[in-house]
Structure 1
Amino acid sequence: MTIKEIASILEARVAVGAEYLDRQVECAGAADMQSVILAKGCSGMLLLSGQLTPQTIHSCILSDVTAAVMVRGMELTPEAHDLAARKGMVVLTVPYTLYETCGRLYSTGLPGVMI
């Protein structure tokens, strides 16, 4: 599934990385702790999180996470936005809770990753 398809399903706004929406997502997982992202993040993964700080963006980049979704309408800090843009990472934002966002993706058949 492409990031563009996911953005449509989630009615998401692209916060950064609109030029990369054709990238493929293989699985999804939800986490807020950098240690979990570093240990379990992987290429092709979509991260769903309630906090996307510069540290979270760094963890995603180090783990080769394909894209991230911020829940509850949260916005990137200017530092996190600049870092994601420089590194070519896609970040989406949705108004839904983490629970609802995960459910919407689960209902499409997108596999989860054990986080």
Structure 2
Amino acid sequence: MKLREVKELLNARVLTGEEHLDEDVYVACGCDLMSDVLRYAKEDGILLTGLVNKQVFNTVDMANMHSIVFVRSKVPGEELLEMAEDIDMLIMTTDYPLFESCGILYHNGLKGAIPKNEL
């Protein structure tokens, strides 16, 4: 799935990294617990979260992910958006809650980060 399709499906607004919208994403991780993100996230996946703090950006960067969708209309502050630009990260925000956002993407073919054999 292209990140542009994620944007359209979630009626999301791009905050940084619009130039990445034509890149592919194969898995998503919907999570507010950053230790789980480090455990289960896949490289080049997309994180959906309601947390808006520096640890989210650091975790995503450490996990080699390059995209975040903040749910429930959350918007990071200017300092965090500048940090995202510095590490070349696509940041979007959607009005949908986490559960619905993940459901919409899953229903449209985006897979989860945890393999079924690990559930």
Q: TM-score, normalised by structure 2?
A: 0.90
Report if aligned partners of 2:29, 2:37 keep a CA contact under 8 Å in 1.
Answer: no
- Partner of residue 79, structure 1: 79
Counting matched residue pairs gives: 115
Q: Is residue 99 of structure 2 the alignment partner of residue 99 of structure 1?
A: yes
Question: Cα deviations across residues 51-105 of structure 1 (Å, max 9, x unaligned)?
Answer: 1311111110110113111000000122211111100000110001111111111
Distance in 2 (CA, whole Å) between partners of 1:62 and 1:113 is 16
Distance in 2 (CA, whole Å) between partners of 1:51 and 1:76 is 9
- Partner of residue 61, structure 2: 61
Distance in 2 (CA, whole Å) between partners of 1:19 and 1:3 is 10
Report if aligned partners of 1:54, 1:79 keep a CA contact under 8 Å in 2.
Answer: no
Q: Output the amino acid matched with 2:102.
A: C
Q: TM-score, normalised by structure 1?
A: 0.93
Report if aligned partners of 2:27, 2:42 keep a CA contact under 8 Å in 1.
Answer: no
- Partner of residue 50, structure 2: 50
* Aligned residues with identical type, % of pairs: 31
List gaps (5 residues or longer) in structure 2.
none
- Partner of residue 34, structure 2: 34
Q: Which structure has the larger Rg?
A: 2
Report if aligned partners of 1:50, 1:74 keep a CA contact under 8 Å in 2.
Answer: yes
Cα drift, residue 3 of structure 1:
0.7
Distance in 2 (CA, whole Å) between partners of 1:64 and 1:42 is 8
Q: Output the amino acid matched with 2:110.
A: L
- Partner of residue 5, structure 1: 5
Cα drift, residue 42 of structure 1:
2.0
